Structure 1
């Protein structure tokens, strides 16, 4: 009985407790309901929902998700404001799952799975991903995400300050730009300024950005409107030759209107205005290109279906067709035992050339299919090859398909788009250029770009043939080279091939110029700046050798030391980031080394073994290219014509590049690059030209399966995503830090339907 009584007493005590707890719970629920139904909270909840919808836009878009701490850990990136905060408070632990080393990536499926296990199913999808959970969203596969096992903690040590994600501040007053020097460019800039002024809205009409800023000042930060998706339509280029369309070289109307073509004016740039926005079609049966280095010897015929060149050069061992491929035996008119035999014979006959040490960057004139440039890679030499878009049918396109650097260009009436005194050597194998005519104007253009003390290697028939015409050309060439103070340092003949070559050297000082008996060709005027190259006419004059304090005045260090050591002449120049130029060089090199190693190589989803031809669309010091130097890739470093002229620095470090205005098309065939890199480029372009035309140009240059990595302001990245999605590209990775963002996208095979 006692035991039963005690049991009943315990039950009564438990019931009382439950009743009391129930009363408290009901009271709290009533208070909570009153709070949740308050007007201010309803506004806050609606504003939060609108903000999330504006951020994610629609389900097909890869969301941009913010996490400043994780972003800094993975990319070495931090803003000045964040650095101050880090000094005051330690970093908090991150619960981000890592599927790749050094860069936190989580598949969308895994993120939703983890969040849904902690929250009710009825909760809105947009609330399942918090804005502070991680900094990167990617469409990586489930299998890749399943490898994630450990959480990554941010490093406790403070990293160096880096403005990698911050817009580059360029002080153009400290450096000349091509836009400053080119008369045509000045006229174009004036037109753009007038157009921009005419297009500006009246002062009384506030822009959306101004309204947002005003609302922010009033404390209405949660009332941002939902971003409306931009509707973008695309059309296919439908005309003869559209598959290989180069807008600035295929402007039929402009070419027909030329008063003369005797100086190859019809092979020079004549850009249409406005720039076209149609998409070039793909060749039938197009396939992903053969990987390097196998591509040096064979490519898919369907990618470059040009039988004319095969027929034209069938007896010269250039290129042959074998089933569904084009085969490149490595020969040519001058390479009867292969290009590598020819290259090594030059080294044996003239050891001072020192391939890959003293001589690192070469200009190859009239390159053909660029076998010289393709095989001299084996000797650590980088070659910029060029040839005109002419009757020899897509030589440059074949070179680029093989993975060899090349551009479509011609020596006509305008300067080559390179700075002065930058090439270690210039090579011309059986090129049919009449160097001696018109006062030697064409050879003087080579003299402008050749580094003082550099070599001109000429293996054309006048060097070793003895017929009357070739003998006369040789005499004229010797006369001309002496008049411009070039010294004939070697002449040799290869018995095994019957090919000979002559090597001339440019002077290292102005002494020879000052002691000439005859002032012909004349010295250039002081206001004729040798680095001016963007739409600047050639001049038949000699530019003086620069002082050691200027670029070109002193030979760079041997490769590879020159890649990472700042050129000595930078010590006397102001930098482009408001520091000394030498400090900028080091900072730029370190910044991109961190970004490439910690993020680009392992975290963006790029299959780097498929990447060979790379372009940095806004190169600055060439730090991005230098960071990729250990990979079997080459990088075309583009310095925009309105940017500080840092291109000589890029050449001095053993890399190469070109000037360009991105409001115009680039001088290359379609589908010739595997990866384009644009660091804060599109935001600047938008001030001068239609961003759609630039996106069209990116699409034209990239191979299907190729990649674009763009860094810019968040609003620019968002606009670019609209374009990429309209092109059916795969937006693989995006992340944001403050006002800055990055997007990595992969080009698809999609083309608009034909109207035929």
Structure 2
């Protein structure tokens, strides 16, 4: 990547010997290493599968959460194995790790493991990975590890590569013993401990149970099972709880069965979407799901890919600002992009459906800033978002956030009612953005604009933006 896009060299100095990142003239280069895989992420990834064949990258395991991602080389190289990885740095203390990841075209968010739940639904990740992620999993009743338990699918793997797994220093032994005690109490099964002789690290792999039998047989109910009223999918500004949610066992409950193997799961209607349920658009849930996918396949193929003059080879990081079933992202499956699906907190909770398809996303309130660095997305897509949020958010502030997220020469595609389209067109023209396309029919409109390099010369303090 261009050095001047992310002008930080601290990480190269601190982690250069581990092949994280190096300064090469005007560029920063990423040899593909990491603290636990100095000799390359691909060997490390393949070693995990050799140790635990059931991981089955890109088939059984499709959506992964990488905690303490560094510059996200693990997630970046997992693309080669057909895996989509949500990477985040709980501290990002080495300066701009997540920004490096996004600049490389690898999915990543800034997120903190502290007092609140991560912005994901329960039981959606096929695997969770932590390579020297420096999170004290064992303290405070295991509250942080229990948060991983919340988001990990029953039968999913926790892959832990850290010094307590393979070193015998007093501190490591103490952590290993505390972790072993906690993990046993959580009913996770230790599937494998293996030593990677090339990278000289050890990897422990655990599996989350698929039934509640072990929970019920524990002599001590610590950590406790969460109360029935505690919604495992409630994640927006919800305090962490040191408890475990019961595993769904009824055959038609989400999480009771593993999804279809990738890529079949992308188009398969989730088994737990029932005809008796009403979908977002008013049809039965399975019909709604199918109709949404057909709609977006049509729109993407006939309009977005060919009718807008977008050079898709320059697009990598995409955000669907108001996703519903992930149909837009699914329709982009054959293009070399990844899509961050955003579910607004005041919308129906369809994010579990998106994960079930082998895609990923995040909860968000567009009245607040999105958890990313400036200028990190190449294309933003908003389907009937702005007309909905302007009823409760300041539209100018939301457009300013769009400007912050989108990189210069990035594209914004908006589908909305004509009144909202006209408002937005006026705003983006005021920012000197180029209107690439505008179209309206039957009070519905389409707008495609390109962000320019222009910046205002006069400064104005926006009082409502100050906490």
Residue 569 of structure 1 corresponds to: 272
Point out the structure with the larger helix share: 1
Match of 1:423 among 122, 125, 131: 125
TM-score (norm 2): 0.97
Residue 548 of structure 1 corresponds to: 251
Residue 626 of structure 1 corresponds to: 330
For residue 605 of structure 1, report the CA deviation from its aligned partner.
Answer: 1.3
Aligned to 2:325, the other structure's residue is in SS state: coil
Residue 605 of structure 1 corresponds to: 309
Residue 488 of structure 1 corresponds to: 190
Residue 172 of structure 2 corresponds to: 470
Q: How far, CA to CA, are the matches of 1:302 and 1:404 in structure 2?
A: 19
Deviation track 1:483-510 (CA, whole Å, cap 9, x = no partner) reads 0110001110011221110000000011
Deviation track 1:124-155 (CA, whole Å, cap 9, x = no partner) reads xxxxxxxxxxxxxxxxxxxxxxxxxxxxxxxx
Q: How far, CA to CA, are the matches of 2:294 and 2:264 in structure 1?
A: 15
For residue 328 of structure 1, report the CA deviation from its aligned partner.
Answer: 0.6
- 1:523 to 2:225 alignment: yes
Residue 660 of structure 1 corresponds to: 364
For residue 579 of structure 1, report the CA deviation from its aligned partner.
Answer: 1.6
After TM superposition, list the pairs within 5 Å mapping 1:580-729 onto structure 2: 580-729=284-433
Larger Rg: 1 or 2?
1
Would the aligned equivalents of 2:92 and 2:98 in 1 still touch at CA under 8 Å? no
Residue 465 of structure 2 corresponds to: none
Residue 512 of structure 1 corresponds to: 214
Deviation track 1:172-212 (CA, whole Å, cap 9, x = no partner) reads xxxxxxxxxxxxxxxxxxxxxxxxxxxxxxxxxxxxxxxxx
Q: How far, CA to CA, are the matches of 1:439 and 1:644 in structure 2?
A: 33
For residue 415 of structure 1, report the CA deviation from its aligned partner.
Answer: 0.1
- 1:305 to 2:4 alignment: no
Deviation track 1:69-120 (CA, whole Å, cap 9, x = no partner) reads xxxxxxxxxxxxxxxxxxxxxxxxxxxxxxxxxxxxxxxxxxxxxxxxxxxx
Deviation track 1:328-379 (CA, whole Å, cap 9, x = no partner) reads 1101211121011100111111111000000000000010100000001000
- 1:393 to 2:95 alignment: yes
Would the aligned equivalents of 2:316 and 2:337 in 1 still touch at CA under 8 Å? yes
Would the aligned equivalents of 2:89 and 2:109 in 1 still touch at CA under 8 Å? yes
Residue 46 of structure 1 corresponds to: none
Q: How far, CA to CA, are the matches of 1:485 and 1:550 in structure 2?
A: 21
For residue 316 of structure 1, report the CA deviation from its aligned partner.
Answer: 2.0
Aligned to 2:16, the other structure's residue is in SS state: coil
- 1:367 to 2:69 alignment: yes
Would the aligned equivalents of 2:343 and 2:361 in 1 still touch at CA under 8 Å? yes
Residue 341 of structure 1 corresponds to: 43
- 1:559 to 2:262 alignment: yes
For residue 389 of structure 1, report the CA deviation from its aligned partner.
Answer: 5.5
For residue 476 of structure 1, report the CA deviation from its aligned partner.
Answer: 1.0
TM-score (norm 1): 0.60
Q: How far, CA to CA, are the matches of 2:5 and 2:199 in structure 1?
A: 33
Residue 463 of structure 2 corresponds to: none
Equivalent residue pairs, number = 458
Residue 82 of structure 2 corresponds to: 380
Residue 237 of structure 2 corresponds to: 535
Deviation track 1:410-461 (CA, whole Å, cap 9, x = no partner) reads 1000000000000000000111111111111000000000000000000011
Deviation track 1:286-319 (CA, whole Å, cap 9, x = no partner) reads xxxxxxxxxxxxx000100012222222322211
Q: How far, CA to CA, are the matches of 2:69 and 2:418 in structure 1?
A: 42
Structure 2 unaligned regions, length at least 5: 461-467
- 1:331 to 2:33 alignment: yes
Deviation track 1:521-564 (CA, whole Å, cap 9, x = no partner) reads 11111111110000000000010112332222211000000000
Q: How far, CA to CA, are the matches of 1:736 and 1:550 in structure 2?
A: 42
Aligned to 1:569, the other structure's residue is in SS state: coil
Aligned to 1:315, the other structure's residue is in SS state: helix
Deviation track 1:190-246 (CA, whole Å, cap 9, x = no partner) reads xxxxxxxxxxxxxxxxxxxxxxxxxxxxxxxxxxxxxxxxxxxxxxxxxxxxxxxxx
Are the structure 2 counterparts of residues 755 and 595 from structure 1 closer, same or farther at C-alpha, using a change threshold of 3 Å? closer
For residue 514 of structure 1, report the CA deviation from its aligned partner.
Answer: 1.2
- 1:447 to 2:149 alignment: yes
Q: How far, CA to CA, are the matches of 1:332 and 1:633 in structure 2?
A: 24
Deviation track 1:603-635 (CA, whole Å, cap 9, x = no partner) reads 011110000000000000000000001011000
Q: How far, CA to CA, are the matches of 1:534 and 1:686 in structure 2?
A: 20
Residue 402 of structure 1 corresponds to: 104
For residue 755 of structure 1, report the CA deviation from its aligned partner.
Answer: 5.7
Aligned to 2:17, the other structure's residue is in SS state: coil
After TM superposition, list the pairs within 5 Å mapping 1:214-229 onto structure 2: none
Deviation track 1:15-39 (CA, whole Å, cap 9, x = no partner) reads xxxxxxxxxxxxxxxxxxxxxxxxx
Q: How far, CA to CA, are the matches of 1:306 and 1:548 in structure 2?
A: 51
Aligned to 1:343, the other structure's residue is in SS state: helix
